C-alpha cells in the first residue's frame, strides 16, 4: 500500500487527479436532492418541447427568414408562462430556487428541439450571471424580483448581458487581451452616478429584455483595470436600441445593438466599480477576471449543453429519416453504414453531455453558487418557506454588511486553483461539446441527402443554429487558449499565454 502522504503527493502531480476527475469529489458532496431536481426539470422541458417548441420551431424560423425585424414576444411570453425565467432564481432573490445543476440539462433538452428557443430561455441566465457575478446583493435582489413580477403579470421582464463591443469581442472575454483592447464604452463619474457612452453589439435577447447588465470602463485606455458593471432599464434616458442583426441561424433569438447616449446611471445601479473593488482582496484587474470567470464558468458549459442539444436533435432527425426512407430498396436504418453513422452520432451527443455534466459538478463545487450546494445550506434553503424569505431577504439583501459578507466569502476566499479548474473545464466543455454538436448537424444533413437541405425536414436548421455555438461565449479558439491557460500552463510555467 502507498502511505497517505505519498499517495496525496502522487495525486497532486500534474495532471492533478482532482483536475481531471472532478466528479469523483462531487459524488459524495452533492446533496442527493439534486438528482431528483434534475429529473423533474428535464421532464418539464420535455413537456414544453412537445407542446410548444416542436410545433412552433420551424414556423418561427421561417417568420424570421421573411421578416428579420420580427420581435418574438409570442414565444418569450410562453417561456415566461412556463416559469423558465424564474425557476433558477435563488430563493433569497424571490425565485423558485431550483438547483443550478438542473438548469444546464434543461438547456440541452430545449436545444434538442430548437436552439433559438433554447437560447431565448438560456440567455436569461447569462444576463443573470453577469448580474450575480459582482455579488451586489441589493441590485441583484431588485432586478430578480422584477423578473418574478414579470412572470406573475404575464409581461416578461428579462435580463440581457452586455459585454461585447463592435471593436472588442474576443478581447472582452479575457483581461490579458482586454488591457490592449479598443473598447469605447466609457463610464464617466459624475455627481451621484455615471454618464455612459458607447455601443454594445450582438446582445442576445436585447430587444426583449427590460434590464440590461452591462460592462463599461472608467478609462478606456486602461480597460482591464477600470472595468465597472451596471444595471440599466431599457426605458432609461439615453438607452437606445440599434439594429437587430440578421443572423444565419438561431433566428428566433434576437441579437441586438444597444447604444448608450449620455445615459445616466445612478450610483445605486452600479453593480461593481473601482471604489467597491478597493474593499476586496484582489486588484481591479484580478477582480475583473474573477467576475468574467464567474460568468463564464456558468455560461460556457451552458453553451456546451446547447452543443449536446443540437447533437442530439440532429441525431434524432437523422434517425427518424432513416427509419422511414428506403434507399436502394431497403430502409436506410438497415444499411450497416448508416447504423455505424447513427452510433457515432449517438456517441457525439453523449460525449458532449459528459463534458458539460462534469463541468456542472465543478461549478456546483467551486463556482459562484457553490455555497448553495453545501448540504446544510441546500436543505435549509429547500425547507425555508418562500413567504418568509420574501419578507426578510429584500431588506437583508440591501444591507451593506450582507453584501460585504458574501463578497468576502465568495470573492476573497476563492482559491486560485479552484478558479482555474472551473474556468478551464468550462472552456473545455464549450469548445468540445459545440464542435461535436456541429459535427452531428453536418452528419445529419449528409445522411439525409436531398431531405437534409430542406427547411421542413429540420436538419438544415440544426446546422445553421449550431454554428453560432462555436462563436459566442468566446470563440472556440479563445476557449482553447483559456483551457491552455487554466489547465495546461500551470504545469508548464515557462508558457506565456496571449503574448506571442
Ligand X SMILES: Cc1cc2nc3c(=O)[nH]c(=O)nc-3n(C[C@H](O)[C@H](O)[C@H](O)COP(=O)(O)OP(=O)(O)OC[C@H]3O[C@@H](n4cnc5c(N)ncnc54)[C@H](O)[C@@H]3O)c2cc1C
Give me the residues that bind other proteins (CB under 8 A), please.
62, 65-68, 164, 167-171, 176-177, 180-182, 201-202, 245-249, 325-329, 337-338, 341, 438, 442, 445-456, 460, 463-464, 467-468, 470-472, 475-477, 480-481, 498, 500
Q: State how far the Cα of 80 lies from the Cα of 152, in Å rounded to an integer.
A: 9
Give yes or no for a contact between 85 and 124, defined as CB atoms under 8 angstroms apart.
yes
**Residue 223 sits in the site that holds ligand X (CB under 6 A):** no
Cell (9 digits) for 112: 434538442
**Residue 204 sits in the site that holds ligand X (CB under 6 A):** yes
Strand partners, 231: 213
* Shortest distance in whole angstroms from residue 252 CB to other proteins: 15
With contacts defined by CB under 6 A, how many residues of the chain interact with ligand X?
A: 23
Residue 204 contact partner, candidates ligand X, other proteins, none, CB within 5 to 8 A by sort of partner: ligand X
Give yes or no for a contact between 426 and 358, defined as CB atoms under 8 angstroms apart.
no
- Residue 487: which of 16, 21, 7, 9 has the closest Cα? 16
**Residue 147 sits in the site that holds ligand X (CB under 6 A):** no
Nearer CB in complex with other proteins: 117/451:
451
Residue 163 contact partner, candidates ligand X, other proteins, none, CB within 5 to 8 A by sort of partner: ligand X
Q: State how far the Cα of 36 lies from the Cα of 99, in Å rounded to an integer.
A: 10
Q: State how far the Cα of 181 lies from the Cα of 175, in Å rounded to an integer.
A: 9
Q: Which residue among 101, 134, 169, 223 contacts ligand X (CB under 6 A)?
A: 169
Q: State how far the Cα of 229 lies from the Cα of 284, in Å rounded to an integer.
A: 12
* Shortest distance in whole angstroms from residue 498 CB to other proteins: 6
Nearer CB in complex with other proteins: 167/193:
167
Q: State how far the Cα of 351 lies from the Cα of 150, in Å rounded to an integer.
A: 37
Q: Which residues of 486-498 are buried (b: 16+ CB within 10 A; e: fewer)?
A: bbebbeeeeeeeb
* Shortest distance in whole angstroms from residue 169 CB to ligand X: 2
Residue 453 contact partner, candidates ligand X, other proteins, none, CB within 5 to 8 A by sort of partner: other proteins
Instruction: Say how far residue 176 (Cα) sits from the centre of its chain.
Output: 22
Nearer CB in complex with ligand X: 137/164:
164
Instruction: Collapse the DSSP code of 285 into the 3-class scheme (helix H, G, I; strand E, B; otherwise coil) and give the result.
Output: helix
**Residue 139 sits in the site that holds ligand X (CB under 6 A):** no
Mark residues 224-253: x for contact with ligand X by CB under 6 A, - for none.
-----------------------x------
**Residue 173 sits in the site that holds ligand X (CB under 6 A):** yes
**Residue 203 sits in the site that holds ligand X (CB under 6 A):** yes
Residue 328 contact partner, candidates other proteins, ligand X, none, CB within 5 to 8 A by sort of partner: other proteins
Cell (9 digits) for 299: 455560461
- Residue 134: which of 288, 309, 328 has the closest Cα? 288
* Shortest distance in whole angstroms from residue 492 CB to ligand X: 18
Residue 248 contact partner, candidates ligand X, other proteins, none, CB within 5 to 8 A by sort of partner: other proteins
Q: State how far the Cα of 83 lies from the Cα of 156, in Å rounded to an integer.
A: 10
Neighbouring residues of 302: CB distance < 8 A, sequence distance ≥ 6: 103, 104, 107, 122, 125, 126, 356, 473
* Shortest distance in whole angstroms from residue 303 CB to ligand X: 10
* Shortest distance in whole angstroms from residue 475 CB to ligand X: 3
Q: Which residue among 58, 195, 351, 471 contacts ligand X (CB under 6 A)?
A: 471
Q: Quote the longest CA-to-CA distance of the chain.
A: 78
Nearer CB in complex with ligand X: 179/398:
179
In this structure, is the dihedral angle defined by the CA atoms of residues 412, 415, 416 and 422, taken in order, positive or negative?
negative
- Name residue, grid cell 421573411: 66
Give yes or no for a contact between 342 and 143, defined as CB atoms under 8 angstroms apart.
no
Nearer CB in complex with other proteins: 369/428:
428
Nearer CB in complex with ligand X: 456/499:
499
Instruction: Collapse the DSSP code of 281 into the 3-class scheme (helix H, G, I; strand E, B; otherwise coil) and give the result.
Output: coil
Backbone angles phi, psi at 251, to 5 degrees: -65, -30
* Shortest distance in whole angstroms from residue 290 CB to other proteins: 20
Residue 336: other Cβ atoms inside 10 A: 7
Please list every residue from 255 through 274 that binds ligand X, using CB under 6 A: 255
Nearer CB in complex with other proteins: 215/273:
215
- Rule CB under 6 A: which residues touch ligand X? 123, 161-164, 169-170, 173, 177, 202-204, 247, 255, 468, 471-475, 477-478, 498
Amino acid at each position: 500500500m502507498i502511505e497517505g502522504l505519498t499517495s496525496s503527493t502522487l495525486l497532486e502531480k500534474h495532471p492533478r487527479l482532482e483536475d481531471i476527475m472532478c466528479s469523483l469529489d462531487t459524488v459524495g458532496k452533492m446533496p442527493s436532492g439534486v438528482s431528483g431536481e434534475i429529473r423533474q426539470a428535464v421532464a418539464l422541458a420535455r413537456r414544453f418541447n412537445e407542446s410548444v417548441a416542436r410545433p412552433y420551431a420551424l414556423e418561427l424560423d421561417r417568420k424570421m427568414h421573411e421578416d428579420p425585424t420580427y420581435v418574438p414576444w409570442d414565444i418569450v411570453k410562453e417561456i415566461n408562462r412556463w416559469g423558465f425565467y424564474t425557476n433558477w432564481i435563488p430563493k433569497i432573490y424571490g425565485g423558485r430556487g431550483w438547483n443550478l445543476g438542473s438548469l444546464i440539462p434543461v438547456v440541452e433538452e430545449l436545444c434538442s428541439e430548437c436552439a433559438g428557443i433554447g437560447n431565448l430561455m438560456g440567455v436569461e441566465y447569462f444576463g443573470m450571471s453577469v448580474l450575480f457575478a459582482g455579488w451586489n446583493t441589493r441590485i441583484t435582489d431588485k432586478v430578480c424580483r422584477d423578473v418574478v413580477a414579470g412572470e406573475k403579470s404575464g409581461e416578461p421582464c428579462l435580463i440581457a448581458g452586455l459585454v461585447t463591443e463592435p471593436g472588442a469581442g474576443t478581447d472582452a472575454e479575457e483581461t490579458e487581451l482586454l488591457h490592449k483592447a479598443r473598447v469605447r464604452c466609457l463610464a464617466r463619474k459624475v455627481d451621484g452616478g455615471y454618464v455612459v457612452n458607447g455601443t454594445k453589439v450582438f446582445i442576445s435577447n436585447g430587444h426583449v429584455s427590460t434590464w440590461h447588465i452591462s460592462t463599461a470602463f472608467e478609462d478606456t485606455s486602461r480597460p482591464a483595470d477600470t472595468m465597472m458593471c451596471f444595471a440599466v432599464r431599457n426605458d432609461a434616458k439615453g438607452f437606445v436600441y440599434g439594429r437587430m442583426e440578421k443572423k444565419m441561424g438561431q433566428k428566433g433569438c434576437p441579437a441586438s445593438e444597444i447604444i448608450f447616449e449620455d445615459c445616466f446611471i445612478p450610483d445605486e445601479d452600479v453593480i461593481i466599480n473601482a471604489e467597491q473593488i478597493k474593499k476586496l482582496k484582489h486588484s481591479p484587474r484580478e477582480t475583473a477576471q474573477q467576475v468574467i470567470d464567474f460568468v463564464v464558468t456558468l455560461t460556457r458549459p451552458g453553451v456546451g449543453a446547447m452543443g449536446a442539444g443540437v447533437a442530439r436533435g440532429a441525431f434524432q432527425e437523422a434517425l427518424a429519416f432513416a427509419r422511414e426512407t428506403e434507399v436502394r430498396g431497403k430502409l436506410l436504418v438497415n444499411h450497416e453504414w448508416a447504423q455505424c453513422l447513427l452510433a457515432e452520432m449517438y456517441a457525439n451527443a453523449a460525449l458532449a453531455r459528459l463534458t458539460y455534466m462534469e463541468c456542472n459538478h465543478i461549478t456546483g463545487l467551486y463556482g459562484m453558487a457553490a455555497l448553495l450546494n453545501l448540504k446544510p445550506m441546500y436543505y435549509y434553503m429547500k425547507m425555508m418557506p418562500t413567504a418568509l424569505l420574501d419578507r426578510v431577504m429584500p431588506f437583508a439583501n440591501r444591507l451593506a454588511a450582507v453584501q460585504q459578507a458574501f463578497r468576502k466569502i465568495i470573492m476573497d476566499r476563492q482559491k486560485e486553483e479552484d478558479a482555474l479548474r472551473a474556468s478551464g473545464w468550462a472552456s473545455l466543455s464549450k469548445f468540445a461539446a459545440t464542435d461535436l454538436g456541429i459535427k452531428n448537424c453536418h452528419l445529419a444533413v449528409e445522411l439525409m441527402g436531398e431531405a437534409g437541405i430542406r427547411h421542413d425536414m429540420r436538419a438544415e436548421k440544426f446546422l445553421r443554429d449550431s454554428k453560432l455555438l462555436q462563436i459566442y461565449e468566446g470563440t472556440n479558439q479563445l476557449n482553447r487558449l483559456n483551457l491552455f491557460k487554466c489547465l495546461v500552463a500551470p504545469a508548464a510555467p515557462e508558457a506565456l499565454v496571449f503574448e506571442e
